[in-house]
Structure 1
């Protein structure tokens, strides 16, 4: 009997890389001439969100740009960030919360499963919590499915983990 091969499709944010990017962005904000007295701050709140604060919306946008550059350099996809609306804070300053999206949302997982079924390849896809497991007897089929998933944009960054060939 032929054995099954499988891999998991996940969407994770590496928290340590986010911390490093925040540290680098904070250093740049405190040394940049145009942002020196803007009272801008970037703080990581647990492992779910980042709190941004600044003197005005204009400087907040500059802070977001700096943070985005640092995150990309550290290999964190910007697709896993969900920006909430800008809200006023004390002393006419503004703040914004940025959620870190962990896991594949159920509607995106359903789209992935549907795409695998529509491809007519000999593979099964199943949703397991916030991951999708793809199983097939043929390794080449799994490689083709990985390529197909990379080519399509689901709105979240996808990683392929737990590759098993028995």
Structure 2
């Protein structure tokens, strides 16, 4: 009988790349004509994994968000793992928005992944939740590859990363 092969499903954000993207966004915003004279802030808190956006009005806030998303995409940061919070009023007429960065797979998404694999009818594939990741095991490497293919084709609301493949 063949030994069990496995891989882990994770979802992480490289905080150094986020920091680089925030710095690039700040530099671009400082140079753009449409932001001249505007009070714009982008604060990245590594400890809390949050980015706070502050702008004079809704239009500028959405423009800052678009610039930041573009820089994140160019640096390979998964946009799906960025959860945009609600707009809130700040001092004066300024608007603030907090973006939280999803590190690891949330419990509800992990349960959805396990349920999805069971519902797909892959008989030899077993999935288990391990803290903030999901381990998928099978005796058949072909079944594992099929599971990866099907998982890539389904949207769980976060960016899935496959690694730690063992055979």
TM-score normalised by the chain length of structure 2: 0.95
1:42-66 deviation digits (Å, cap 9, x = unpaired): 1111241001111111101100000
Unaligned runs of 5+ in 1: none
Matches within 5 A, 1:124-163: 124-163=126-165
RMSD across aligned positions (CA): 1.1
1:21-62 Cα deviation digits (max 9, x unpaired) = 101100000000001211111111124100111111110110
Work out the CA distance in 2 between the residues paired with 1:31 and 1:93: 21
Q: Which residue is equivalent to 1:106?
A: 107
Q: Distance in 1 between matches of 2:161 and 2:36?
A: 38
- Give the deviation of 1:85 after TM superposition: 1.0
Structure 1 residue 117, shift from structure 2 partner: 1.4
Contact 2:22 2:68 in 1 (8 A): yes
Q: Which residue of 1 aligns with 2:23?
A: 23
SS in 1 for 2:159: coil
Measured in 1, the distance between the counterparts of 2:50 and 2:41 equals: 14
Give the alignment of 1:86-101 within 5 angstroms: 86-101=87-102
Structure 2 gap ranges (5+): none
2:86 partner SS: coil
Q: Which runs of 4+ in 1 moved over 6 A?
A: none
Contact 2:15 2:46 in 1 (8 A): no
For 1:110, what is the secondary structure of its paired residue?
helix
The answer for the alignment partner of 1:115 in structure 2 is 116
Post-superposition CA distance 1:98-129 (Å, at most 9, x none): 00011111111111111111222211100111
- Aligned residue-pair number: 165
Residue 34 of structure 1 aligns with which residue? Answer: 34
TM-score (norm 1): 0.95
Counterparts of 1:39 and 1:83 in 2: how far apart (Å)? 20
